[in-house]
Structure 1
Amino acid sequence: MEQNSLLSINNLSIKLSSSHNNIQIVNNLNIHIKKGEIVGLIGESGSGKSVTALSYFNYFPKCIN
């Protein structure tokens, strides 16, 4: 964890796996949020925002690695 970080995510990569292919949803994401900071995660529909947030709590479907 980076010094003084309230939340720190390093090199997060997430893949969606199916029987036919793998889709890279998030690739090597780094986030460091300090106490008192206000942060927004924005992007198009289906860009991985919700999956990124859920991954911090290790809460996502089995098809996601």
Structure 2
Amino acid sequence: MDAASAVLDADQKDSRIFAKRKIPGRIDGVVAVAMSIDASELQLAEVSDHDGFFNNPIMLGAWL
């Protein structure tokens, strides 16, 4: 049902964004899947610095 309500649109900077086709429709699931696919393609650096984590607990890893 989420996929039936989602359409690709372009914003002012020509970036692709999801938009709703119908007002009562929901697109949360489609957006979550797209974000997880994008995140899975990122590579995390091999970090074994536990002191860095304890000094800055918000940091979960280093992005390359």
TM-score normalized by structure 1?
0.25
More strand by share: 1
- Please tell me whether Structure 1 or Structure 2 has the larger radius of gyration of its CA atoms: 2
TM-score normalized by structure 2?
0.25
